Structure 1
Amino acid sequence: MQVWLEIGTLKLKIALNDTLTARKVWEALPLEAEVSTWGDEIYFATPLELLQEKPQETVELGEVAYWPPGQALCVFFGPTPISGPGEIRPYSPVTVIGKVVEGELEALKGVRDGEKVRLTRV
């Protein structure tokens, strides 16, 4: 399962993993929302209300996760305001659902709060 994440002219391909959470996101596509930023993370609300699955307190560069308290999808492209040295730490535990496999993560640094994001199947 692969999806496109589009913000303006920025386009990233994400490979979803084999979790129940990733399958629920896939079934809900297409999704459109407004982006919020937090350090080197973008996130956006979804209509999904899912329980935590395999919660992680830190993530890897380029990982995409579902954050249950905000019912949001998050894309991590660097440290957040609470990251320690050499780590990427979400605000609270997340369920990793995939990873960016194509496109420039660095371009996410130019994304601003309120921009429109679209998530569709490849």
Structure 2
Amino acid sequence: MPDLTVTVDDRPLEATWTDDAPETKAALESALPVAGDGIRWGDELYFDLALDAPPENAREAVPEGAIAYWPSGNKLCLFWGETPASQNGEPRAAAPVTVVAMLKDVTPLSDLEGGARVRLERAE
């Protein structure tokens, strides 16, 4: 069963929490639901979200489907493919991010054009 419902414009997606960032997960979970107008950077969308969370296992290269928090920029990011910073085809953030959840399927994002409204909430 999914932990989160992520809606990108009219595309509903499911996500599950990861275990390697407990403080960031707790901060995001207590802030839910959250939403913002996503800015597109390659196959990444990010939007403003201020959380009180330190970097945890922060890294630039992330798996496809990662939902990550960028603490120094106060942004929540969704990765589904290459970004301008990518190397060897992997999704890569511009600066270290903390992965807090994983999208189960990124296929619905493959034809996304431009930015999009992003909303995260607890799954029902």
Q: TM-score, normalised by structure 1?
A: 0.87
Q: C-alpha distance in 2, partners of 1:111/1:13?
A: 20
For residues 59 and 8 of structure 1, what CA distance do their matches in structure 2 show? 23
Contact 2:63 2:91 in 1 (8 A): yes
State the alpha-carbon separation in 1 of the partners of residues 76 and 49 from structure 2. Answer: 7
Q: If each structure's helix is expressed as a fraction of its own residues, which one has the higher value?
A: 1
Question: Secondary structure of 1:57's partner?
Answer: strand
SS of alignment partner, residue 22 of structure 1: helix
The Cα shift of 1:118 comes to: 1.4
Match of 1:98 in 2: 101
* 1:111, distance to aligned residue in structure 2 (A): 4.6
Deviation of the 1:64 alpha carbon: 1.1
Aligned AA for 2:11? Answer: L
| Total equivalences in the alignment | 119
1:34 aligns with 2:37: yes
The structure whose residues are more often strand, as a share, is 2
Offset of 1:40 from its aligned partner? 0.7
* Structure 1 residues not aligned, in runs of 5+: none
Query: Could you list the runs of 4 or more consecutive aligned residues of structure 1 that deviate by over 3 angstroms after TM superposition?
Result: none
Deviation at 1:28, TM superposition (A): 0.4
Letter of the 1:12 partner, please give it: L
- In the alignment, the residues of structure 1 paired with residue 74 and residue 9 of structure 2 have an alpha-carbon distance, to the nearest angstrom, of 23
Partner of 2:13: helix, strand, or coil? strand
2:23, 2:54 within 8 Å by CA — same for their partners in 1? no
Structure 2 unpaired stretches of 5+: none
Offset at residue 57 of structure 1 (A) = 2.1
1:112 to 94, 111, 114: 114
Aligned mates of 1:48, 1:98 — CA distance in 2: 15
Report the 3-state secondary structure (helix = DSSP H, G, I; strand = E; otherwise coil) of the residue aligned with 1:21.
Answer: helix
Q: Which SS does the other structure have where 2:12 is aligned?
A: strand
User: RMSD of the TM alignment (CA)?
Assistant: 1.6
Query: CA deviation digits over 1:30-87, x for unaligned, max 9?
Result: 1121111100111111132422111112111111110112211111111110111232
Q: Which residue of 2 aligns with 1:87?
A: 90
**What amino acid maps onto 1:32 in structure 2?**
A
- The alignment's TM-score, normalised by the length of structure 2, stands at 0.86
